[in-house]
Amino acid sequence: MAVKIRLARRGRKKAAMFDIVIADSRAPRDGRFIEKIGTYNPQTNPATINFDGDKAFDWIMKGAQPTDTVRAMLSYRGVLYRKHLQLGVIKGAISQETADQRYTDWKEDKDSKIEGKRTVLGTAKDEARQQRLAAETKVKEARSEAQRAKQAAIDAANAPAPVAEEVAAEAEGETTEAAASTEETTEAAAE
């Protein structure tokens, strides 16, 4: 029986999640499996890969063949590097302590790189949010300024009407005074 380490799809349409399973190579993709060792979520950035590294290592050492995608995940998490070191121990090239030390050093370095990527993505996301907020604030201020200008124009259009009435009233007063003065001059001329 050929044993594979592969993905079994689950999740809704366009939001796939996968289980990392140990299965017979003749079994259907989402069908029967021997053991579930973890999950894979490609929807997140970076993709979330959670699996039991010891179980994966045991199955790899027993001869289970990973698919290409799972091989990339196992390599990303150091299971294949651990296998490489263990084969060196079996052949007598290095000691078990040396292999364990190399693996822990590699694991710490890899974890720090992954955490660094997460923080960079998080800060980039925050910066993008701040930029969108600043742009939105500028647009809001421009709209309010345009609204204030429009309101000022409306007020200015409404304000001259009372001023025009006052000017008209003053003009009437001047015409009555002018008429009175002409009457006085005509009376004076008549005397």
Q: Tell whether 189 is covered by a domain.
A: no
Give the DSSP letter string of 112-174. Answer: HHHHHHHHHHHHHHHHHHHHHHHHHHHHHHHHHHHHHHHHHHHHHHHTHHHHHHHHHHHHHHH
Instruction: List, for residues 92-108, the tens digit of each pLDDT value.
Output: 888 999 999 999 999 99
Q: Tell whether 49 is covered by a domain.
A: yes
- The single-letter DSSP state of residue 94 is S
pLDDT band at 64 (very low <50, low <70, confident <90, very high): very high
Residues 75 and 151 in one domain: no
Residues 47 and 87 in one domain: yes
Partner residues linked to 23 by β-bridges: 4
Instruction: List, for residues 3-30, the tens digit of each pLDDT value.
Output: 999 999 998 899 999 999 999 988 888 8
Given CA atoms 107, 112, 117, 119 in this order, what sign does their dihedral have?
A: positive
| Domain tally, the chain | 2
The CA distance from 57 to 76, in Å, is 13
Domain range for 140 is 111-174
Q: What is the mean pLDDT of residues 51-67?
A: 92
Residues 70 and 115 in one domain: no
